[in-house]
Amino acid sequence: QDGVADRSTDIWLSGPFGQIGTTVANVGSTWKKYTYAFVVPDRPGGYAGQDVSFSIAVKSGKLWIDRVFLGRLNESPDLLPVCLQEQVTAIEPQMIRMDFLGIGRRAVPADNWSMAMNNDVVTIEDQRWMTQRGSSIHAALSMAVQSHSDPWLVIDAYASETEMIHLIDYLTAPISEPYGRIRQGLGMTLPWTSQFQKIYFEFCDTEDVWLTDRNRADSVNRMIEAVSQSSYYQQLKNKVIFLDGMGYEDGVMLSKADYHVSDLNQGNNLGLVHDTEKIISRYWDQIPRNPDKPTAEFPELIRSTALSDNALRPLRLADVLDLVLFDLGRQSGAVNLDKPADNQDRVMKIWESAAVIVSRTAQGRPLDIQVMQNRDQDFAANQSTENEEASSETAIRAYGFSKSGFRCVVFINRSAKTQTCQMISELDFSRAIVEKYDADGNWLSSQILNRTSGSMTLLPGGAVVVVKQDSNN
């Protein structure tokens, strides 16, 4: 501060509870951290949807402030929100796509990712104050470690080769180097590369900076070359996977990246009986060819699958699982399920349950599963009305995966009626765990599979997950 009267600063909260605050005394002329706990009256339903503001004021003089954080007492100013960390940890995704870091975005300053949380840079744009919402890579990677996930870092078109080298230094350099010291200052002494099995780098152009396919590919190749020229590339080369996130107008991938990534766009009609096939067909059509790499060995990766709720056909768990599992393990090698932007409870619950199921089950190779219809069901289906959403022939789908010591099958009911099915398998599913979910993603029950009948009941729009984990694995 400079010239502040009485060297004191007032801070307060304003809201439905009135004003609650205090005066911070003896504010000096050097940087110092101040912490204060506001005690807010309890309120039925909390303060969701209510306007609550935080204010700082001095009577005169100048006051410099930095890294202002307002949160619950159990929150850390250096990490992402606890509620988000808990959600992701419960899911335990195999990878987390971190586009929220804003690396290489036009509105985010270079190396902004290397700063601590709550260090947003404010600028004037179109005569308005704009907050550049890049986040802290330290907080993001800490969440990945906690959830046992590999990081998927997204680098946009405004990133330079120099910034890319700084990013590699931050991840791998010892603390004797500048970016190693930055990493240490945020709380991580060891290189981040020691914490993960794989690190994904996606190079994309969300703002259409590059005008031709050749420009797009050259941009990706320059970034790959910058990484390979790093002094610490040897520590990284067995863990790094390069992803080309460019859209190629001529339908041919031109870069040297390991894989190409695309979006699986749901549209507004998910829930109709043939929607999954149509959506997947559109997704296949947008995948660029790579003549140098066979699809069987180098599948496409789905970087984004956004959910949208339709009032006429509300989102259901079965529809989401059908969409994301339909091609997984075949032409698609991985799928990201986007966290909903709004916090609508029902959609959020469906997202959480779908993400948990996919993360737990989509391991190893897909199983060949045939859904067969008995004659009684066929007769009943033929008697259904014209408005029936799906016959019993198309109502149930099953997706399975298997690796050493692990196998699973996910059954989904796409119809509007309760369905019963029987699982017959040559694989050993004895003592397998059977978990049941309803259409809204609510977990209903868990039990041991009845091997005598193998019969199970699926609620409309719901799912049943059968998992067998060998005891010695």
Residue with tokens 């870092």: 153
Q: What's the pTM?
A: 0.88
pLDDT for the residue 293: 77
pLDDT for the residue 291: 80
Q: Given CATH 3.20.20.80, say whether it is the number of domain 82-364.
A: yes
pLDDT band, very low/low/confident/very high, at 296 (cuts 50, 70, 90): low
Q: Residue 65 CB: number of other CB atoms within 10 A?
A: 10
Instruction: Tell me whether residue 369 is exposed, middle or buried, using C-beta atoms within 10 angstroms of its C-beta: 0 to 12, 13 to 18, 19 or more.
Output: middle
pLDDT for the residue 383: 37
pLDDT digits 0-9 by tens, 125-182: 666 655 656 689 999 999 999 999 999 999 999 999 999 999 999 999 999 999 999 9
pLDDT for the residue 274: 55
pLDDT band, very low/low/confident/very high, at 6 (cuts 50, 70, 90): confident
| Sheet of strand 365-366, all strands in order from the earlier edge strand to the far edge | 365-366, 396-403, 406-413, 463-469, 433-437, 443-448
Q: Domain 375-469, what fold?
A: Immunoglobulin-like (2.60.40)
- Within 13 A of 442's CA, how many CA atoms are on the CB side? 8
The mean pLDDT of the chain is 88
Asked whether 350 and 309 are in contact (CB, 8 A), the reply is: no
Q: What separation in angstroms does the CA of 249 have from each of 215, 219, 290, 329?
A: 12, 16, 14, 26
pLDDT for the residue 4: 87
- The residue-averaged pLDDT of 30-47 equals 88
Q: What percent of the residues of the chain are helix, what percent strand, and what percent coil, each to the nearest 5?
A: 25, 25, 50
Helix extents (H) in 24-160 = 82-91, 137-146
pLDDT greater than 80 at residue 73:
yes
pLDDT for the residue 380: 38
More confident residue, 161 or 270: 161
pLDDT for the residue 98: 96
pLDDT for the residue 358: 97
Token pair listed for 337: 């399920």
pLDDT band, very low/low/confident/very high, at 72 (cuts 50, 70, 90): confident
pLDDT digits 0-9 by tens, 337-393: 999 887 778 999 999 999 999 999 999 999 998 888 664 544 333 333 334 444 545
pLDDT digits 0-9 by tens, 193-239: 999 999 999 999 999 999 999 999 999 999 999 999 999 999 899 99
Token pair listed for 453: 């009948």
Asked whether 166 and 179 are in contact (CB, 8 A), the reply is: yes
User: What is the residue-wise DSSP string for 245-285?
Assistant: -PPPTTSB--S--SEEEEE----S-BTBTTHHHHHHHHHHH
Where along the chain do its domains lie? 5-57, 82-364, 375-469
Token pair listed for 144: 């990945």
Q: Residue 456 CB: number of other CB atoms within 10 A?
A: 18
